[in-house]
Amino acid sequence: MGRILLVDDDPNVVDGNVTALEASGHTVMTASTTSEARAAIGRETPDLVVLEAMLDGATAGFDLARSLASEKPALPLIMLSRIGEHLTAAERDSQDHHDWMPVQRFMDKPVAPEVLAYEVNHLVKVIH
């Protein structure tokens, strides 16, 4: 289906998500830091990036998402985070988060691998 870059520093999360995404027919590249993610994107632009918010530093995932949105505006991003714990109900339910974070989906961690695969499948179908 698509080329997916999965950026997360938790090997257990990566293993489960890679298995689910590959079972859905995707080719999966992985990175555990923002510099590894940038290098992977430099080698081959993926169809979609799944990005953990808390990587090399407290805001590294958010910073990478903002720069990717600026550099590659057509590249869809899914942000995995516990940010939902800190949002109001209205903010969580709003799909208009592009003002402060340019991602297509926020998904609260922990995310079941099959749920992530479903969202990835949906977004990849939309872009193809």
Q: Which of 25-29, 53-57, 84-88, 108-112 has the highest mean pLDDT?
A: 25-29
pLDDT at 106: 83
pLDDT of residue 93: 58
Output the domain CATH number for residue 112: 3.40.50.2300
- 38 by DSSP, 3-state: which? helix
In tens, the pLDDT along 6-22 reads 999 999 999 999 999 99
Confidence of residue 51 (pLDDT cuts 50, 70, 90): very high
Sheet of 48-52: strand order equals 27-31, 3-7, 48-52, 77-81, 105-108
% of the chain residues with pLDDT over 90: 65
pLDDT classification of 32: cutoffs 50, 70, 90? very high
Report the domain count for the chain: 1
Q: Which amino acid is at 90?
A: A
C-alpha 73/C-alpha 90 separation (Å) is 26
pTM score, whole prediction: 0.87
Please give the Cα distance from 19 to 119 (Å, whole number).
15
pLDDT attached to residue 92: 55
**Domain residues for 43?**
3-127
For residues 29-33, average pLDDT: 96
Task: Please determine, for residue 94, whether its predicted confidence score (pLDDT) is greater than 90.
Answer: no
